[in-house]
């Protein structure tokens, strides 16, 4: 089988099937073998691994994954790609093509059914229009995911690994860092894709924690407080949280909780670490029962 990462082979298969790129599906196919080698290496894929690939496209990365992994489940939404994948992956008995919208897929159930509930690794060149819902869906699914190694927009990768204080830091940084340790492992320019995306890309590896690095009595409350704190960046945290629909705290209650943690009453969300958000939400929860 000819590797698709060779641009001539990609063009040949696209022409054979008269394939039209669909912008709405975020279709930018990889055509650089160095990037693929790097992704496989950083994801640490071996014969014992079950890999979930989100959005295989024509199967460029899937071929590489199949050569290293025990099993690859490739989940693709675009029905026009299914016959192409059937051809390009024909030589790989360990490849499984699943035609479904990944946002509608029960990933915990997939791991249970296809891998006996053992942990899986996620590897993908993600469709950028739904990066955040995919990443959050993976972690919130409670599926046994060991790691997530994905190509994303460079700016989004920076946000995922941002620390308190900077302008990139926000709800996405905190959510990702609650579940995993992020590391940017490669920066990838637009000319590594066909067609070229308008933005620069990065590969980020999210190594899942066995248990979250902070203690929170109520995870949902903590994330609601985090979202409210970043809703309007120019507002103070106390204003954001006290005005959030669905949160029952007055401005005074929030200011009091901040004070008890040794924080300023007019502090902004971007100054608080994950540990401080966990402590704040615990404090607020207790204030409801006082």
Residue 149 interacts with ligand SAM (CB under 6 A): yes or no? no
204 in contact with ligand SAM (CB under 6 A): no
For residue 40, state whether it binds ligand SAM (rule: CB under 6 A).
no
**Contact 161/174 with Cβ under 8 angstroms?**
no
Residue with tokens 């026009």: 80
Given 13, 19, 27, 175, the residue binding ligand SAM (CB under 6 A)? 27
Burial 271-281 (b: 16+ CB within 10 A, else e): ebebebbbbbb
Angle at 76 between CA 70 and CA 80, to 5 degrees: 125
Helices 171-179 & 219-231 angle (0-180, nearest 10):
160
Residue 152 within binding range of ligand SAM, rule CB under 6 A: no
**Interaction of residue 202 with ligand SAM, rule CB under 6 A:** no
Taking CB under 6 A as the binding criterion, the range among 70-78, 179-187, 211-219, 268-276 that sits at the site for ligand SAM is 70-78
Of the pair 91, 133, the CB lying nearest ligand SAM is at 133
Shortest Å distance, C-beta 273 to ligand SAM: 33
CB of 134 to ligand SAM, least distance (A): 8
User: Residue 149's closest CA among 71, 48, 35?
Assistant: 35
Q: How many other CB atoms sit within 10 Å of the CB of residue 285?
A: 17
Residue among 13, 65, 75, 150 that touches ligand SAM (CB under 6 A): 75
Give whichever of 28 and 236 is closer to ligand SAM, judged by the CB atom.
28
Which residue in 57, 170, 182, 240 binds ligand SAM (CB under 6 A)? 57
Identify the residue among 65, 84, 85, 102 touching ligand SAM (CB under 6 A).
102
Q: Is 125 in the site for ligand SAM (CB under 6 A)?
A: yes
CA dihedral 119, 121, 127, 132 (to 10 degrees): 60
Q: How many CB atoms lie within 10 A of CB 9?
A: 17
- Residue 37 interacts with ligand SAM (CB under 6 A): yes or no: no
φ and ψ at 151, to 5 degrees?
Answer: -85, 125
Please tell me what DSSP assigns to residue 208. Answer: E
**55 or 240, CB closer to ligand SAM?**
55
Q: Tell me if 103 contacts ligand SAM by CB under 6 A.
A: yes
Identify the CA nearest to 40 among candidates 85, 5, 9, 11. Answer: 5
The torsion angle over the Cα atoms of residues 211, 40, 129 and 187, rounded to 10 degrees, is: 100
Q: Which stretch binds ligand SAM (CB under 6 A): 57-65, 169-177, 204-212, 273-281?
A: 57-65
Nearest residue to ligand SAM, by Cβ distance, number only: 55
Residue 172 found at the interface with ligand SAM (CB under 6 A): no
- Verify binding: residue 106, ligand SAM, rule CB under 6 A: no
CA distance 116 to 257: 45
Spatial CA neighbour of 65 closest among 15, 30, 100: 30
CB of 109: closest distance to ligand SAM in angstroms?
16
Specify the pairing of strand 29-30 against strand 193-194.
antiparallel
* Residue 107 within binding range of ligand SAM, rule CB under 6 A: no
Q: Which residues contribute to the site for ligand SAM (CB under 6 A)? A: 25-30, 54-57, 60-61, 75-78, 81, 101-103, 125, 127, 130
């Amino acid at each position: 089988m000819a590797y698709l990462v060779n641009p001539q082979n990609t063009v040949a298969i696209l022409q054979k099937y008269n394939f039209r790129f669909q912008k709405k599906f975020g279709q930018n196919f990889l055509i650089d073998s160095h990037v693929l080698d790097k992704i496989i290496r950083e994801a640490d894929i071996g014969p014992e691994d079950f890999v979930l690939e989100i959005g295989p496209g024509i199967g460029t990365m899937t071929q590489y994954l199949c050569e290293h992994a025990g099993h690859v489940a490739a989940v693709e939404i675009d029905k026009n790609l299914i016959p192409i994948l059937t051809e390009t992956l024909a030589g790989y008995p360990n490849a499984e093509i699943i035609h479904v919208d990944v946002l509608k897929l029960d990933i915990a159930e997939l791991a249970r059914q296809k891998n006996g509930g053992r942990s899986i690794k996620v590897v993908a060149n993600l469709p950028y229009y739904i990066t955040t819902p995919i990443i959050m869906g993976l972690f919130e699914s409670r599926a046994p995911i060991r790691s997530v190694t994905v190509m994303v927009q460079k700016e989004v990768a920076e946000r995922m690994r941002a620390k308190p204080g900077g302008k990139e830091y926000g709800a996405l940084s905190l959510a990702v860092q609650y579940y995993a340790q992020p590391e940017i492992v490669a920066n990838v320019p637009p000319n590594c894709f066909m067609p070229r995306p308008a933005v620069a890309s990065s590969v980020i590896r999210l190594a899942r924690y066995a248990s979250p690095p902070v203690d929170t009595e109520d995870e949902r409350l903590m994330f609601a407080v985090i979202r409210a704190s970043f809703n309007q960046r120019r507002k103070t945290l106390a204003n954001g949280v006290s005005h959030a629909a669905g949160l029952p705290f007055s401005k005074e209650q929030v200011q009091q909780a901040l004070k008890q943690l040794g924080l300023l009453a007019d502090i902004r969300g971007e100054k608080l670490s994950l540990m401080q958000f966990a402590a704040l939400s615990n404090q607020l929860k207790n204030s409801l029962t006082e």
